[in-house]
């Protein structure tokens, strides 16, 4: 039994260091990517086909049964459409997002604040082209006292009292970060809405390092592309299939799936939502939700099906998302560009 506990502690320590390294090199991600519009593409700012503004909160809890302190990510965002009465067949979108991420036992924590702006131009009566960018301030800090290194392993356990040869020049860093993106939407009828988007993240290649390596640790550019459809297939059912792909250096992620909303009340004030997604080579993601009077809550659960499932027993992550949409004048809301109940 002691041997099993020892092996498990070594495995968890090694995995903690491994995941810390990956977290430092790659961006965070959400399984409900379609509910995190501003982190997916800055051109989504004010890209709200069925409202004038929206506010949202997103929380992700990952590896809670594998590590003593799981990875937690919190996102709070808001965006709105402005100048619709001043621009011919177009408008501006403005927004902001706050991201907070803690990796493992708090050894790596990041805080990011972005402000974004986008321009949206109608192309005739059935299509829309959007372009946007954001500029943000990012801060990352690390607590070396909570890390264990190979040269502290004495053959039996990690002796944190032994000095390590690993040296951190700075345990608190900040930098400027910039993203750009494009979106296109096509809505030929009131029952069909299609859109696609592409964005480039870290276009300024900011430097991010805790070590003495000036110019050698720039954040790699990240590419994100997605396809989305909202289709009203019956008076009480709207389906929303999605495809999402992102790549950064040698890491890549491909998600595909669909969620559907079922109307529970006249006028669409109450909706039941259910969906299923697959992150290729990693997880199956069922989700459920409820919409009530322009408040939408969704919950998803990552069922790991990769090699990591033997360690985390297929429990990958849970996500909670809450979004509120609305109009400036609820008495006379504008016509929606996408299917509605």
d(CA 287, CA 173): 36
Residue 23 near residue 71, CB atoms below 8 Å: yes
What does the pLDDT read at residue 162?
66
d(CA 246, CA 155): 41
Residue 53 near residue 325, CB atoms below 8 Å: yes
Q: Who contacts 280 (Cβ-Cβ below 8 Å, separation ≥6)? A: 253, 254, 255, 256
CATH number of 2-326: 2.40.160.40
Phi, psi of 192 (to 5 degrees): -130, 130
The residue written with tokens 């082209």 in the block is 129
Structure letter (DSSP) for residue 158: B
What does the pLDDT read at residue 336?
86
Q: How many CB atoms lie within 10 A of CB 265?
A: 11
What does the pLDDT read at residue 108?
81
Each residue's pLDDT, cut to its tens digit, for the chain (341 residues) gives 434 333 344 444 444 444 444 444 457 779 999 999 999 999 999 999 999 999 999 999 976 555 556 788 999 999 999 998 888 889 999 999 999 988 766 578 899 999 999 999 999 999 999 999 999 999 998 877 667 666 666 666 666 666 676 666 778 889 999 999 999 999 999 999 999 999 999 999 998 877 777 666 789 999 999 999 999 999 999 999 999 999 998 889 999 999 999 999 877 889 999 999 999 988 999 999 999 988 999 999 999 886 655 555 556 689 999 999 999 987 777 888 899 98
What does the pLDDT read at residue 95?
98
Residue count of the chain, please give it: 341
Phi, psi of 20 (to 5 degrees): -65, -40
Instruction: Find the angle CA(333)-CA(261)-CA(306) to the nearest 5 degrees.
Output: 130
Give me the residue spans of the domains in the chain: 2-326
Query: By three-state DSSP, how is residue 302 classified?
Result: strand
């Amino acid at each position: 039994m002691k041997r099993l506990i020892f092996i498990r502690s070594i495995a968890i320590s090694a995995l903690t260091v491994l995941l810390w390294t990956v977290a430092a090199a790659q961006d965070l991600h959400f399984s409900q990517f379609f509910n995190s519009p501003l982190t997916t593409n800055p051109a989504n700012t004010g890209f709200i086909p069925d409202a004038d503004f929206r506010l949202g909160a997103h929380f992700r809890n990952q590896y809670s049964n594998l590590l003593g302190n799981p990875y937690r990510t919190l996102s709070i965002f808001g965006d709105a459409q402005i100048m619709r009465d001043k621009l011919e067949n177009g408008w501006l979108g403005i927004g902001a997002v706050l991201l907070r991420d803690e990796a493992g036992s708090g050894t790596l924590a990041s805080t990011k604040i972005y402000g974004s702006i986008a321009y949206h131009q109608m192309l005739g009566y059935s299509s829309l082209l959007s372009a946007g960018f954001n500029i943000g301030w990012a801060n990352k800090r690390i607590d070396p006292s909570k890390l264990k290194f190979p040269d502290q392993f004495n053959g039996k356990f990690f002796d944190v009292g032994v000095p390590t040869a690993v040296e951190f020049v700075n345990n608190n860093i900040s930098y400027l970060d910039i993203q750009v993106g494009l979106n296109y939407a096509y809505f030929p009828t009131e029952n069909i809405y299609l859109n696609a988007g592409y964005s480039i993240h870290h276009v300024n290649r900011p430097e991010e390092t805790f070590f003495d390596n000036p110019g050698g640790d720039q954040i790699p550019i990240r590419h994100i592309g997605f396809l989305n459809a909202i289709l009203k297939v019956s008076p009480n059912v709207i389906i929303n299939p999605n495809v999402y792909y992102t790549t950064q250096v040698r890491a890549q992620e491909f998600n595909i799936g669909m969620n559907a909303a079922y109307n529970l009340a006249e006028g669409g004030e109450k909706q039941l939502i259910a969906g299923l997604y697959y992150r290729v080579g990693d997880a199956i993601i069922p989700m459920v939700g409820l919409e009530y009077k322009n408040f939408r809550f969704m919950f998803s659960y990552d069922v790991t099906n990769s090699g990591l499932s033997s360690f985390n027993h297929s429990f990958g992550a849970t996500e909670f998302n809450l979004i509120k949409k609305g109009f400036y004048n609820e008495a006379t809301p504008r016509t929606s560009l996408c299917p509605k109940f």
